[in-house]
Homo-oligomer: A and B are copies of this chain.
Amino acid sequence: MVMKPKVVVNGIGAIGKRVAHAVRLQKDMELVGISDVSPTSTLKTNLEPEGPLHGTDLYCSVPDMIEKLRKDMYVKGTLPDLLKSGTVDLVIDCTPEGIGAKNKETYERFGVKSIFQGGEKAGIAEMTFNTFVNYEQAFGKSCVRVPSCNTTSLARTMWAIDNRIGIESVFVSLVRRAVDPWNPSKGPINSIVPDDVPSHHGPDLKTIMPNLNIMTMAVKVPTTLTHVHVVSATLKRDSTTEEVKKVFSETPRITLLKKKDGYTSTSEIIERYRDLGRPRYDMPEVAIWDELVSVIGNKLFWNHAVHSESIVIPENIDCIRAMFGLEKDKWECVKRTNESLGIK
């Protein structure tokens, strides 16, 4: 019988707090602790009696900072001590960009498996993971990277089309929300900021889909709710709008929403998930505007919205199952993860 892997989430920010809660919702794994360095408002709130992480043991990621953290919160011990104790099977590292790379050595020293997020470079891990694309390759791996929100949304949608119809080449213009909604310091307030060409998203997706001929360009705009991708693809054969919509509608974690039903903008899409009572109005699904899917011969165009805060959560859970061999069938894994998170 497979044992329940014991999981620690290091870094309780936008991604970490959601991953930790998602682990808690699974029956075949166990959240044995969370770890951080500062008594942020979000860390405290998540541990309050009404918070989703209430009752979870808190550790200090950096031993030198434990005394300071203890002034504000109850801290059980340091993360290295916990890892040393041999009771942890996996650390999901959700620390800020670049910090993960420094933590890796610690995880390895104590022989603990690890998952890193998209803020870290692809080279940090044995592979970059997407459930649809390479679930089985993660079986038995020790160190895996789950890519960022934008890359994950592209992996899901590109895989769906490439698998069923075939993509010759694809161009994506990413219109990025500049910061998460809670962040009161970063801008721009009234400016559009283009990224370098190509943006890092195309090359990042190639770490998962090496044969995909993709080019990406990105601009940052003053919104907080979701990214929007504008996609122009050349297919390997002619198709129809109906066929493409069918492919999308049959792919999990993709949802088609209609402008005529009132979903004319990203804010109305988010309101849908507020109304549905999703925790934090999370939308791990890629939301594609139904009427904007357009096929002309072998040319395919669409727009989708990416909820940067939550879209990678299901892939993190799937990744655990793959690494520990908890579920051999990827679609069964997707089904279990989706059900636990309320994704239809």
Q: Which residues of A line the B interface, CB within 8 A?
A: 17, 39-42, 44-46, 48, 50-52, 171, 173, 175, 177-179, 181-194, 196-198, 215, 217, 219, 221-226, 228, 230, 232, 261-268, 270-272, 274-277, 279-281, 289, 291-294, 296, 299, 301-303, 305, 342, 344
Given A190-B189, A267-B191, A301-B217, A262 and B41 contact (CB-CB distance below 8 Å): yes
Closest to A48 in B: B276
B221 touches A221 (CB 8 A): yes
Tell me the bound Cα distance from A96 to B28 in angstroms: 49
Closest to A177 in B: B192
Tell me the bound Cα distance from A72 to B296 in angstroms: 30
Instruction: Find the residue from A177, A191, A294, A296 having the highest chain B CB count within 10 A.
Output: A191
Q: Separation in Å of the A234 CB from the closest CB of chain B?
A: 10
Q: Which 7 A-B pairs have the closest CB atoms?
A: A41-B262, A173-B173, A184-B265, A191-B267, A182-B271, A187-B187, A274-B280
Tell me the bound Cα distance from A179 to B186 in angstroms: 11
Copies per complex of this chain: 4
B183 touches A267 (CB 8 A): yes
Given A179-B187, A181-B190, A261 and B50 contact (CB-CB distance below 8 Å): no
Tell me the bound Cα distance from A309 to B272 in angstroms: 15
Tell me the bound Cα distance from A171 to B178 in angstroms: 24
Residues of B within 8 A of A279 (CB): 274, 277
Residues of B within 8 A of A296 (CB): 215
Residues of B within 8 A of A175 (CB): 173, 175, 192, 219, 221
B224 touches A189 (CB 8 A): yes
Given A182-B268, A217-B303, A292-B197, A276 and B45 contact (CB-CB distance below 8 Å): yes
A223 touches B225 (CB 8 A): no
Tell me the bound Cα distance from A39 to B263 in angstroms: 12
A267 touches B299 (CB 8 A): no
Residues of B within 8 A of A40 (CB): 262
Residues of B within 8 A of A188 (CB): 183-187, 189, 223, 265, 267
A187 touches B185 (CB 8 A): yes
A223 touches B221 (CB 8 A): yes
Given A190-B189, A223-B190, A226-B192, A215 and B265 contact (CB-CB distance below 8 Å): no
Instruction: Find the residue from A48, A52, A185, A264 having the highest chain B CB count within 10 A.
Output: A185
Q: Separation in Å of the A21 CB from the closest CB of chain B?
A: 9
Residues of B within 8 A of A276 (CB): 45, 48, 50-51
Q: Separation in Å of the A223 CB from the closest CB of chain B?
A: 5
Q: Separation in Å of the A5 CB from the closest CB of chain B?
A: 26
Given A215-B232, A299-B215, A277 and B50 contact (CB-CB distance below 8 Å): yes
Given A223-B221, A270-B182, A301-B197, A41 and B263 contact (CB-CB distance below 8 Å): yes
